[in-house]
Amino acid sequence: MKIKFAVIGTSKITKMFLAAAKQDERFHLQAVYSRNMQTAQIFAKEHQADMFFDDLSDLANCLDIDAVYVASPNSYHAQQAIQMMEAGKHVLCEKPIAVNTTEFDKMIVTAKKNNVCLMEAMLSSFVPNFLVIKNSINKVGHLRKFIASFCQYSSRYPAYLKGEKPNTFNLAFANGSLVDIGIYPLYAAISLFGKPDKIQSQCTKLSSGVDGCGDVLLSYDQLSDKRLNNGKSSQLQAVISHSKVSSGENVGELQGELGRIVWQHSSEFNQVKLVMNSGEEQLLSTKQNNNKMVYECQHFLDLITDKCIESPVNTWQLSLYVLNVLEQVRNQQSIVYPNDNV
C-alpha cells in the first residue's frame, strides 16, 4: 500500500526526510507546500512530487494526500498540524512538536477526534545505538549522572551578527539554541528517566531575545524504574549543555557506580562504548544507516499501516514532559515566544 505524503517546508531537513522516507517502498511524495508557489514548484520537480501548493487550505482539502510531514518554523507547527489533522491527515511533526503544552494538548485532542496519527519527529529515539544504550543501562550499576552536549556553531550566526534576522535566532519563530539542538540530549534524558523532579538552567540570551547557548540541570530524587539500578531507587542528575554560538565535541555519557556508557553525538549516537571502572572497555555500537531519519520514517509508516494514532516510543506523554521542561527553562530565563501569549 502506497501512503501519499505532502511536505510542509522545503529546507535541508525536509530533503533529509525525503531521502530517508523514499527508502521505504510504502512512501510516495504526493505534494509539496511552500508559501511561495515558485519554490513549491521547483522543490516538487526536484523531488518528483505530483502536486504543489502555496495555500494550506487547498493542501488540507486535497483528497489525494494521506499524511503530512510538517517542517515549518516552530511557531507554525501546532496550527498547521491541527489544520491537517482536522482534514483527516496523519501528521509527523518536526521537533519541537509545539511551542508549549497548551498547543500540544489541542493537537492531541484533534488527533483523537479525527482518529489520525500524530508523532513528534525526534529521530534519536529510533536510531539503533540509542536502543543499545537503553538495553545496556544495567551494566554500569547504580546510576548517578547523565552528561550530554550539543554545541554547534550555526552557519547563520555570522549573518545574525551583521544585523540580519535569520529564522534560527528569531524569537517570532520560537527558535533558539535549546529548542533547536539542545532538545536532542534533553529528549534522550527524559526518554530514559522520565519527568524530572527539579529543573535548573542558565543561558546566554542574544539581543533578539532567544538563547544562544546554555545549560539545563535535571534532578531525579527517586529514580526507581526496574530497568535502572537493579530495581533500587537512587538520585540522578542529568546535565544538558547546548550552543549555537560555539562548537564542541558533542559527546555524552551515562555514569554508574560500576562504569559508564559513552557515546558520540547526542542526536545520531554514532558510537557507543562501555567503560568499566576496572579499565575494561567494550564497543557496543551497531551499524546504522547514514541517514538516521530512516528509522523514524519506518516507524511512522508502520503506525499508519497498523492504524495507530500514537507512537509507543515517542509517546504524547514523552512530548509533554519535554515541552514542560522547555517551558520551565524559558520561564527561568525570561524567554517569551509570541505563541506563549495566545
Name the average pLDDT for the chain: 96
Instruction: Tell me the per-residue pLDDT of 95-151, one tens digit each, with 9 for 90 and over.
Output: 999 999 999 999 999 999 999 999 999 999 999 999 999 999 999 999 999 999 999
Rounded to an integer, what distance in angstroms lies between the CA atom of residue 217 and that of residue 202? 9
Alpha helix stretches (DSSP H) within 71-209 = 77-86, 101-114, 128-136, 157-161, 177, 183-193
The closest alpha carbon to 307, from 115, 119, 83, 93, belongs to 115
Q: What angle do CA 216, 255, 95 make, to 5 degrees?
A: 40
> What is the pLDDT, as a whole number, of residue 1?
83
The closest alpha carbon to 55, from 36, 79, 69, belongs to 36
Burial class (CB in 10 A: 0-12, 13-18, 19+), 341: exposed
pTM: 0.95
> What is the pLDDT, as a whole number, of residue 223?
79
Rounded to an integer, what distance in angstroms lies between the CA atom of residue 12 and that of residue 176? 18
Burial class (CB in 10 A: 0-12, 13-18, 19+), 176: buried
> What is the pLDDT, as a whole number, of residue 341?
79
Residues of the chain where predicted confidence (pLDDT) is lower than 50: 226
> What is the pLDDT, as a whole number, of residue 137?
94
Q: For 207-331, where are the E strands, in sequence order? A: 211-223, 234-243, 251-256, 259-264, 271-276, 281-283
The closest alpha carbon to 119, from 339, 324, 319, 323, belongs to 319
> How do the residues of the chain divide into helix, strand and coil, expressed in percent and rounded to 5?
40, 25, 35
